[in-house]
Amino acid sequence: MSDVFTNWQGAAKLVDPRKPARWGSIYVALARGRESFKWWLPMLAYGVGHPVLYLMSIGIGLGTLVSKNLGLVDGVQYLTFLAPALLMASALQAAVDETSFVVLQGFSWEKSFHAMNQTAIGGRQIANGLMLYAMFRVLVNSIIYAVILVFFGALAWAAIPGVILLSMLLGLCWGFVFLAFSSYINEEADMLILVMRFIVAPMFMFSGTFYELKNMPELVQNIAWASPLWHGTELARSISYGSPDPYTFWHYVILIAYGVIGASFAYPQFMKRLSR
C-alpha cells in the first residue's frame, strides 16, 4: 500500500481538467455515439430500408399513377419531384430523434448530464455535444438516402453535395428548436409524444411533400410558412432539378431564425437545470 502512495501524483496529474474544459462537446458527442452504437444495426436498417420502401411504394407505385393521369409535376417526373422532399424529411426526423428523448434521459431518467456537469464540462458544451452527434446522424442518413435516390434515378450525382449541406442546415436549425423544447420537460414524455404526433408527423402533409403546394387551399399554403420542412423541401427541389423559387432568400432566413431562437432558449435552460 505504501508503494502506491510513494508514486502518487495527484488527480490533477492523472486527469488534466483542461481537456474536458476545451474538448467537452466532443466528449459528449462521443459518449452519445458509444451509447447509440448498441443499436447500430436497427439504425442502419432504418436508414436504408425506410427510403427504399418509401420510394418503391410512393415514388414508383403512386408515382406511376400520377404520371399516367397528370403527367409531369413541377416540370419533372413525380419520383424526381418527391425525392428531395423525402431526403429533407429524413434529415429532420434524424435530428428530432437525437434532440428529444435523449434530453429527457440525460436530465431526468438517467441524469447523465448532471454527472458530466460534475467535471469541467459545462451545460453549453453538453448541448453542443448533443447537436454534434445529431448532425452526424443527419449526415450519415442523408448520404445513404442520397445515394439510394441516385440509384433509383431520382437524383443526380452533381446535386448530392448541395442537398447534403441543406439537410445539415435543416437538421441543425430544427434540432436546436427541439433541443430547447425538450430541455423544458421534466420527467414525463407525454408532451414530446403529443408534439411528435400533432406537429412533426403532420409536417409531411402540410409541407408540399407529396404535391405542389400552390394547388392547395390558401390556408394550407399559409400554414406551410411555419413548417421548416417546407422551406427545406423547396430549397432542395431548387438544388436537385432547378425548380424556380422566388422565396429562396426567405427560406434560408426563416430556417436560420428557427435555429437562432432555439439555441437562445436551449443554452440558458441547459445551464439553469444543471445548476440546481
- Bigger pLDDT: 91 vs 1: 91
Which residue has 435543416 as its cell numbers? Answer: 170
Q: Exposed, middle or buried: residue 159 (CB in 10 Å: 0-12, 13-18, 19+)?
A: buried
Is 243's pLDDT higher than 60? yes
Please report whether residue 148 resides in a domain.
yes
Report the alpha-carbon distance of residue 10 to residue 12 in Å, rounded. Answer: 6
Please report whether residue 13 resides in a domain.
no
Q: What is the pTM of this model?
A: 0.89
Is 66's pLDDT higher than 90? no
Kindly state the cell numbers that stand for 127.
448541448
Report the alpha-carbon distance of residue 99 to residue 74 in Å, rounded. Answer: 34
Instruction: Provide the sign of the torsion angle of the four alpha carbons 164, 169, 173, 175, taken in this order.
Output: positive
Q: Is 155 strand, coil or helix? A: coil
Please report whether residue 9 resides in a domain.
no
Amino acid (one-letter) located at 275: S
Please report whether residue 10 resides in a domain.
no
Is 116's pLDDT higher than 70? yes
Nearest CA-CA partner of 209 in 240, 234, 172: 234
Neighbours of 220 (CB within 10 A): 14
pLDDT tens track for 139-161: 998 998 899 899 888 899 999 99
pLDDT cut 90: percent of the chain above it: 50
- Bigger pLDDT: 207 vs 11: 207
Nearest CA-CA partner of 109 in 187, 183, 222: 187
Is 19's pLDDT higher than 80? no
Please report whether residue 12 resides in a domain.
no
Please report whether residue 8 resides in a domain.
no
* pLDDT, average across residues 114-136: 94
Report the alpha-carbon distance of residue 62 to residue 55 in Å, rounded. Answer: 9
Phi, psi of 37 (to 5 degrees): -65, -25
Report the alpha-carbon distance of residue 74 to residue 91 in Å, rounded. Answer: 23
- 141 and 90 in contact (C-beta within 8 Å)? yes
Please report whether residue 216 resides in a domain.
yes
- pLDDT reported for residue 38: 81
Kindly state the cell numbers that stand for 229.
420542412
Domain that holds residue 37: 22-274
Is 62's pLDDT higher than 90? no
Report the alpha-carbon distance of residue 233 to residue 28 in Å, rounded. Answer: 31
* pLDDT, average across residues 238-257: 95
The radius of gyration computed from the CA coordinates of the chain, to the nearest angstrom, equals 22
Please report whether residue 149 resides in a domain.
yes
State the total domains in the chain. 1
Report the alpha-carbon distance of residue 83 to residue 239 in Å, rounded. Answer: 12
Kindly state the cell numbers that stand for 62.
403512386
